[in-house]
Structure 1
Amino acid sequence: MEMVDLYDENRLPLGRTAERYAPKGEGEYRVVVHICVFDSRGRLLIQQRSREKAVWPEAWDVSAAGGVDAGETSRQAAEREFREELGVALDLTGVRPSCTVNFDGGFDDFFLVERDLGLEELTLQKEEVARARWAELPEILDMVDRGEFIDYPKSFLAFLFDMRGTFGFCTK
């Protein structure tokens, strides 16, 4: 059973935990991380979620994502999720999320990283990830239109691409 820390609407810790997918009480929120790895050509590493995933099975998504476990920081969770899902160590020491987006159940922290990775360097976690590849923004937007990519707002995906090379961008 995966446990998560609970926060209030201001992201202050409530000092309580809950099961990750259990319904949360009024004013209780959790944190999720998303890692967006761009290469030096400006392409985003995307992954296709496995068909066994409970949420968004077989949909394409950003490089890696997942819940922040109880006792973990957002940065620690981002490093762990990237290592678990793609088999590559990612050092985010001193790096804060580039942006945070509120969703009904909590906070989505997005880490933007530039790293030239060869697909052959990846070791996909079969329970989580079916495939991975590099894609440019127009291609991802077409995938959203076809229902193949998680339905992030297209303007938000463009924002992530626009944020490359600006504040909060990690090149480690």
Structure 2
Amino acid sequence: MELVDLYDEGRIPLGRTAERSAPRGPGEYRTVVHVCVFDRRGRMLIQRRTAEKTIWPGLWDVSVGGGVDAGETSRQGAEREFREELGHPLDLSGLRPSVTVNFDGGFDDFYLLTEDLALRELVLQKEEVQAVRWAGLEEILAMIDEGSFIPYPKSFLHFLFDMRAQFGFPTK
């Protein structure tokens, strides 16, 4: 059973946990994370989810995403998810989420960074990830149109790419 910490609407810890997939009561929220890795050419590392995934099976997604476990910080959850899904250690020390998106069930922290990863060195978690590759913004937007990429709002993907370009996120 996977547990998550619960927070109020102001992201103040409530001091209790719940099973990850269990329904939550009013005023109870959890944290999820996404990591968006860009290369120096401005392309994003994207992953294709396995066909066995419950949510968005077989679709392409940003580099990494997942839930934060009970007792973890957002940063620790992002580092763990990256290591689990792509088999690559990631040190986000000193970095805060670049943006947090509020959704019905909680808070979604997006970490943006630049790292020229060698795809052949990644070890994909076979239960979650079937492929990875680099893609530019226009290619990702076309993938949304054809139904092969998770249907994030296009303006949000523009925002992620703009944030990376404008603020030159740290190289790890």
Q: TM-score range by the shorter chain?
A: over 0.9
The aligned counterpart of 2:156 is 156
1:147 to partner: Cα distance: 1.2
Question: Are 2:33 and 2:67, in contact at CA under 8 Å, matched by a contact in 1?
Answer: yes
Does the Cα contact within 8 Å between 1:32 and 1:65 map onto a contact in 2?
yes
Q: Does 1:71 align with 2:71?
A: yes
**For the Cα contact (< 8 Å) 1:92–1:170, is it kept in 2?**
no
Q: Could you tell me which residue of structure 2 aligns to residue 20 of structure 1? A: 20
- Note the alpha carbon deviations across 1:28-79, whole angstroms, 9 max, x for none: 0000000000000000000000111111110100000100000000000110
- CA pair 92-166 structure 1, distance change in 2 beyond 3 A: farther
Counterpart residue type for residue 90 of structure 2: L
Q: Secondary structure at the match of 1:101?
A: strand
How far does residue 170 in structure 1 lie from its aligned partner after superposition? 2.8
Q: Does residue 100 in structure 1 map to residue 100 in structure 2?
A: yes
Shift of 1:166: 4.4
After TM superposition, list the pairs within 5 Å mapping 1:47-58 onto structure 2: 47-58=47-58
The answer to whether the Cα contact below 8 Å between 1:35 and 1:62 also exists between their aligned partners in 2 is yes
Residue 8 of structure 1 contacts residue 29 of structure 1 at CA under 8 Å; is this kept in 2?
A: yes
Counterpart position of 1:143: 143
Q: In the alignment, what sits opposite 1:39?
A: 39
1:86 matched to 2:86:
yes
2:40 aligned counterpart, secondary structure: coil
**1:128 alignment counterpart:** 128
Shift of 1:165: 4.4
Q: Look up the match of 2:10.
A: 10
Number of equivalent positions = 172
| In 2, Cα distance between equivalents of 1:152 and 1:121 | 28
Contact 1:34 1:66 in 2 (8 A): yes
Write out per-residue CA displacement over residues 91-132 of structure 1, whole angstroms, 9 at most, x where no aligned residue: 100110000000110000000010001110110000000100
Aligned-pair identity in percent equals: 73
Query: 2: distance between equivalents of 1:162 and 1:129?
Result: 26
Q: Which whole-Å CA distance do the structure 2 matches of 1:80 and 1:26 have between them?
A: 29
Structure 1 runs (4+) greater than 2 angstroms displaced: 165-170
Give, in angstroms, the shift of residue 169 of structure 1: 2.4
Q: Structure 1, unaligned stretches of length 5 or more? A: none
* Alignment gaps of 5+ in structure 2: none
Matched to 1:99, the amino acid is V
Q: Quick one: structure 1 residues 42 and 168, their matched pair in 2 at CA, closer, same or farther if it must change by over 3 Å?
A: closer
